[in-house]
Chains A and B, each alone.
Chain A
Amino acid sequence: MADLKMKGNHVLEVEDLHTSFATDRGRVDAVNGITFAIDKGGTLGIVGESGSGKSVASLSILQLLEGTTAHIRKGQIRFMGQDLLTLSRAQMRKIRGNRIAMIFQEPMTSLNPTMTIGSQIAEPIIFHQGKNRRQAWNAAVEMLELVGMPEPRKRARQYPFELSGGMRQRVMIAIALACGPDVLICDEPTTALDVTIQAQILTLVKRLQREMGTSIIMITHDLGVIAETCDFVAVMYCGKIVEYTRAFNLFTDPKHPYSKGLLESIPSHEEDSDENLKTIEGTVPSPYELPPGCAFAPRCPYAKEICHETMPELDGEPEQKVRCHIYQTTSTESPTEGGTVASYIQISDMWKGEELW
């Protein structure tokens, strides 16, 4: 696929992606108009709680939702300038596992229990690179060595059940990187692992990214993992991106009330917390009954009248965007909840760098 070209420095661009599920109770818009791009060698984090649509977004990119009731209704997914949604199944198969690869959360259920790990790593090499079995096997052993597997020759002949969770995740990474993909999607890659093993795997992924120049999409609910690995972050809530910014900015100066609330509700292992943790009141709304305005408005301490009526746009600078009426300074609505007019002015001032809470 040498005809594929990068636009600017963007390897992958997702534009206005909508993915919906047909259910007995009607349509659920799991991903509802998300737009992001990822640079060569860069890492974009997608963070959100259960049901925010982060995993569906990644499965949509690889079109792995076939056979479910999901349907990509709208949008473009441009890889090296080419819209993946216009490709045939056969063309898509040449991209999947080759140019764009994925690591899943649960290494036990995503590996084939009846195949040796060597053959599982060799499989994409044979399929995509047309190598013969012996060459592919040798390449597989090299991959195992690359991901830090002790005794790679011996291990290649073992089955997944013979390995620990951390070792299995190393095998997943070896399979994903076997063809030297341009983009690696990591969907909760360390969620099932213990912290000491998580630290090993994250360090490994970062090292391999440096060596191979891979772009990474890191999907996780763990803000610590985002802080350790990502350049940019998209915070998702109810199928939409509510904040898109540099990771540094998110952790030092979050803008969206949801991002702020999320960060404050994590108990830190590095400092003593107050008697009571700050919480985000209420729960995520049901996808069948999304509020008419901003989906976060019912839980937002700053919600104004307009927040309950219209969904704000994702607005701001190219490297820092937020979907919140508070920051849309052109708005003439006066606040009805969450403070007086004076505090509202203060809040809009914050857009220029002041503290929100």
Chain B
Amino acid sequence: MVGGKTLLEVKNLKQYFPIRGGILGRTINHVKAVDDISFEVHQGETVSIVGESGCGKSTAGRSILRLEKPNNGNIIFDGVDLAKLQERAMRKKRGDIQIIFQDPYASLNPRRTVYQTIKEAMDIQNVGSKADRRRDIIKILETVGLGEHQMNHYPHQFSGGQRQRIGIARALSVRPKLIICDEAVSALDVSIQAQVLNLLKKLQKEYQLTYVFISHDLGVVRHISDRIIVMYLGKIMEIADKKALFNHPGHPYTYALLSSIPSTNMLEKKERIILHGDVPSPINPPKGCPFHTRCPFAIERCMYDLPPLHEVSEGQQVACHLAEEGIVDFVSLSREQEFSLTENQE
């Protein structure tokens, strides 16, 4: 494990969004975007949160930054509980926690030059001395692979990859300890994506950054992470070191997720689970294990009893009744249960 000291501890975080309805616009129900999750992030490591749309991974990231006010739970960053801070104090704290958004087209102000965009962030957080600001900005731009000559350009004059570099420069400019990358490379073409991923890795080393990397792309996640959190319907299904997760996934959902990715390996075709049906609505999630409606291995107990996260091997925690006594070999289990894991299954 990289680092050691716990930089961020999320405890029992809940983030519900009210649904209003009826003539009076009263709250009639909630979308349980994040439903009681707990995890830790250590200094200097990259923790990824993966899952499908609507699993709550982005909401979790936004809650850490207090872009949403959590309904419940603690977000302890560097010894301070962010969930309890006043808005003003929180704004100061955001100098330590920054975010890079998915869409480099939508997250930059089109009427501001690169210089103005970065300067604003530094002014608000009061980083460095005002006299050095120009010099500092040039240095940051060079760090992310842009040049001084581009300082007075507007966002529309840049390509998608370059805009994402501006987003990174803006986040970096306030000298944060933690950066939340919310699908930071998802909108980029692969050749540009690789450049930006390399840049993120380089910066992490240079500035001892800690990343919470939110992504749906497990290839990217395998490349960048030290540890991975798998979410489904607002809950954590598995937390594991990268090696463990990819070599012996402990949760059936993780296994299905991994086996759904189209593979470019033509020489070796793996057996796979193709999940039936859609993700249930987070307004009214299934009782028991949220995954039981799509899980090919579900037993009766899964329908009413929510399995807690428990350790199945070193550095690997799984929320699944089947994994109670350790890691399950899903390939042989499926053979025992006589349902085929072939590609033709639909």
Instruction: Name the CB-closest residue of B to A252.
Output: B266
Instruction: Please name all residues of chain A whose beta carbon is closer than 8 Å to the beta carbon of B267 when the two chains form the complex.
Output: 252
Instruction: Please name all residues of chain A whose beta carbon is closer than 8 Å to the beta carbon of B217 when the two chains form the complex.
Output: 267
Interface residues of B in 235-291 (CB under 8 A from A): 246, 256-267, 272, 274-276, 278-279
Of B221, B259, B344, the residue contacting A203 (CB under 8 A) is B344
A69 at the interface (CB under 8 A from B): no
How far does the Cβ of B248 sit from chain A's closest Cβ, in whole Å? 14
Instruction: Please name all residues of chain A whose beta carbon is closer than 8 Å to the beta carbon of B198 when the two chains form the complex.
Output: 276-277, 279
Instruction: Please name all residues of chain A whose beta carbon is closer than 8 Å to the beta carbon of B298 when the two chains form the complex.
Output: none
Contact check, B219 vs A196: say whether CB atoms are below 8 A apart: no
Contact check, B266 vs A247: say whether CB atoms are below 8 A apart: yes
A230 to B160, CA, bound (A): 29
Q: Mark the stretch among A113-121, A258-266, A326-334 that contacts chain B.
A: A258-266
The number of A-B residue pairs with CB atoms under 8 Å apart is 131
A323 at the interface (CB under 8 A from B): no
Known contacts A166-B278, A275-B201, A280-B191, A266 near B260 by CB under 8 Å: no
A225 to B53, CA, bound (A): 19
Contact check, B223 vs A273: say whether CB atoms are below 8 A apart: yes
Contact check, B264 vs A263: say whether CB atoms are below 8 A apart: yes
Contact check, B222 vs A267: say whether CB atoms are below 8 A apart: yes
Instruction: Please name all residues of chain B whose beta carbon is closer than 8 Å to the beta carbon of A167 when the two chains form the complex.
Output: 278
Contact check, A265 vs B257: say whether CB atoms are below 8 A apart: no
Q: Which of B53, B222, B224, B262 has the most CB of A within 10 A?
A: B262
Contact check, B262 vs A227: say whether CB atoms are below 8 A apart: yes
Contact check, A50 vs B189: say whether CB atoms are below 8 A apart: yes
Instruction: Please name all residues of chain B whose beta carbon is closer than 8 Å to the beta carbon of A24 when the two chains form the complex.
Output: none
Instruction: Please name all residues of chain B whose beta carbon is closer than 8 Å to the beta carbon of A226 when the two chains form the complex.
Output: 264
Q: Which bracket fits the contact residues of A?
A: 35 or more
B343 at the interface (CB under 8 A from A): yes
Q: Which bracket fits the contact residues of B?
A: 35 or more
Contact check, A267 vs B346: say whether CB atoms are below 8 A apart: no
Of B160, B197, B345, the residue contacting A277 (CB under 8 A) is B197
Instruction: Name the CB-closest residue of B to A280.
Output: B191
Contact check, B260 vs A265: say whether CB atoms are below 8 A apart: no
Contact check, B263 vs A203: say whether CB atoms are below 8 A apart: no
Contact check, A194 vs B216: say whether CB atoms are below 8 A apart: yes
How far does the Cβ of B57 sit from chain A's closest Cβ, in whole Å? 12
Instruction: Please name all residues of chain B whose beta carbon is closer than 8 Å to the beta carbon of A166 when the two chains form the complex.
Output: 278
Contact check, A198 vs B189: say whether CB atoms are below 8 A apart: no
Instruction: Please name all residues of chain A whose beta carbon is closer than 8 Å to the beta carbon of B345 when the two chains form the complex.
Output: 203
A238 to B302, CA, bound (A): 52
A164 at the interface (CB under 8 A from B): yes
Contact check, A49 vs B266: say whether CB atoms are below 8 A apart: no
Interface residues of B in 185-210 (CB under 8 A from A): 189-195, 197-198, 201
B220 at the interface (CB under 8 A from A): yes
A269 at the interface (CB under 8 A from B): yes
Instruction: Name the CB-closest residue of B to A164.
Output: B278
Of A197, A204, A268, A283, the residue contacting B159 (CB under 8 A) is A283
Instruction: Please name all residues of chain A whose beta carbon is closer than 8 Å to the beta carbon of B278 when the two chains form the complex.
Output: 164, 166-167, 197
Instruction: Please name all residues of chain A whose beta carbon is closer than 8 Å to the beta carbon of B190 when the two chains form the complex.
Output: 49, 221, 223, 262, 265-266
Contact check, B260 vs A227: say whether CB atoms are below 8 A apart: no
Instruction: Name the CB-closest residue of A to B161.
Output: A283
A338 at the interface (CB under 8 A from B): no
Instruction: Please name all residues of chain B whose beta carbon is closer than 8 Å to the beta carbon of A49 when the two chains form the complex.
Output: 189-191
How far does the Cβ of B190 sit from chain A's closest Cβ, in whole Å? 5
B151 at the interface (CB under 8 A from A): no
B52 at the interface (CB under 8 A from A): yes
Instruction: Name the CB-closest residue of A to B220.
Output: A267
Contact check, B216 vs A277: say whether CB atoms are below 8 A apart: no
Instruction: Please name all residues of chain A whose beta carbon is closer than 8 Å to the beta carbon of B264 when the two chains form the complex.
Output: 223-224, 226-227, 251, 263, 266, 268
A5 at the interface (CB under 8 A from B): no
A3 to B261, CA, bound (A): 43
B76 at the interface (CB under 8 A from A): no
B37 at the interface (CB under 8 A from A): no
A161 at the interface (CB under 8 A from B): no
Contact check, B266 vs A196: say whether CB atoms are below 8 A apart: no
B218 at the interface (CB under 8 A from A): yes
Contact check, A227 vs B218: say whether CB atoms are below 8 A apart: no
Instruction: Name the CB-closest residue of A to B246.
Output: A269
How far does the Cβ of B246 sit from chain A's closest Cβ, in whole Å? 7
A157 at the interface (CB under 8 A from B): no
Known contacts A224-B263, A272-B222, A283-B161, A262 near B191 by CB under 8 Å: yes
Known contacts A196-B275, A247-B266, A272-B222, A277 near B261 by CB under 8 Å: no
A290 at the interface (CB under 8 A from B): no
How far does the Cβ of A222 sit from chain B's closest Cβ, in whole Å? 7
Kindly list 11 other residue pairs between chains A and B, CB separation below 8 angstroms, not including A199-B274, A267-B194. A50-B189, A195-B218, A197-B278, A223-B190, A224-B261, A251-B264, A251-B266, A266-B194, A268-B222, A270-B246, A270-B265
A-contacting residues of B (Cβ < 8 Å)? 52-53, 159-162, 189-195, 197-198, 201, 216-224, 246, 256-267, 272, 274-276, 278-279, 343-346
13 A-B contacts (beta carbon < 8 Å): A49-B189, A164-B278, A200-B276, A200-B346, A252-B266, A267-B194, A267-B223, A268-B219, A268-B264, A277-B223, A283-B159, A283-B161, A283-B192
**Nearest 7 CB-CB pairs, A to B?**
A224-B262, A267-B223, A265-B194, A194-B52, A49-B189, A199-B260, A280-B191
